Amino acid sequence: MKTLERQLRHSNAERWNDEIKHSNWTKGNDMNQKTSITKLELVEPTKNFAPSTEGKWGKLLSIFNPLGSIANMYATTLAYKIETKRLEAEIVRIENQAAIAHSVIDKTYQLKMEELLQKRIALVGFYASVNAELDRLHIERMTVLEMAKCSQQHVFVSGLSLEERQMLKEMTLEILRELPRFGEQANISLQKLVQALPPVEIPPRLLSE
C-alpha cells in the first residue's frame, strides 16, 4: 500500500505542474515591471495546471477503480487542450500587440518628422528675413560711407568760403557719426540669429524604453 501511495504522490498531473512552474519561458517577475507600448507582454503561466481531480482517498480508491484513472487522464487532457487554446489566443494577442507597437512607432516617427519639418520651414523663413535685413543694412552702410567720402572731398574743393567748408565738414562728421548705427543694428540681427540657434544636443528618444 505504501508503494502505491508513493506512486500517487507523484501523479502525472503534479509532475506536469512542476514542469510548468520551472519552465523559464515566462518570468513572472517581469510582469510587475513598468510596461511600455513597444514591449510585448509576456505570457503568464497557468498556476493550477491540470489539478488532480481526486482527493487523498480518491487516489487510493482509483487504484482499484480504473474509472478514476480515466477521469484523471481526461481532466489532464482537457486541461492541456484548454491551455493550448489559450496559447493560440496568446499568439493572436502578441501579433495584435506587435502590430499596435509598429503603428505607434510609425506614427511617433511621422509626428516628430513633421515637427522637424515645421521647425525647419519656420527657421528658413526667419533666416531669409534676417539675411535680407543684413543685406539692406550693408547697402545702406556702404552708401553712407560713399556719402562721407564725397562730402569730405567737397570740404576741400577750391573756391569755397570758410563757412561753406565748415558746413560741409559738419555734414561729413554727422554722416560719420551715423555709420556705427548700422554696425550696431547688424550686430543685433546677428544676435537674434544666434539666440534662435537650437542648442547642440543628442536628439531625444522617440519612445521611452
Residues in the interface with another protein (CB under 8 A) total: 83
Unique residue bearing C-alpha cell 487523498 = 56
Integer Cα distance of 28 and 59 in angstroms = 32
Q: Does 190 bind another protein (CB under 8 A)?
A: yes
Among 188, 208, 62, which Cα is nearest to 134's? 188
3-state secondary structure of 157: coil
| Surface-to-core class of residue 50, CB atoms within 10 Å of its CB (0-12 exposed, 13-18 middle, 19+ buried) | buried
Q: Which of 9, 10, 48, 202 binds another protein (CB under 8 A)?
A: 202
Contacts of 106 (CB under 8 A, 6+ apart): none
Indicate which single residue of 31, 61, 179, 188 sits in contact with another protein (rule: CB under 8 A): 179
Please report how close the Cβ of residue 33 comes to another protein at its closest, in angstroms: 14
Q: Which residue has the cell 510548468?
A: 20
Nearest distance from C-beta of residue 31 to another protein, angstroms: 13
Smaller CB separation from another protein, 55 or 144: 144
Rule CB under 8 A: is residue 200 a binding residue for another protein? yes
Q: Which of 14, 51, 73, 136 binds another protein (CB under 8 A)?
A: 73
Please state the closest distance from residue 89 (CB atom) to another protein, in A.
10
Which residues inside 80-119 make contact with another protein, applying CB under 8 A?
80-81, 83-84, 87-88, 90-91, 94-95, 97-98, 101-102, 105-106, 108-109, 112-113, 116, 119
The dihedral sign for the CA sequence 197, 200, 206, 208: negative
* Residues 118-147 close enough to bind another protein by CB under 8 A: 119-120, 123, 127, 130-131, 134, 138, 141-142, 145-146
Place of cell 510582469: 31
Q: In the set 58, 60, 63, 136, which binds another protein (CB under 8 A)?
A: 63
DSSP H helices, 50-161, are: 56-64, 66-155
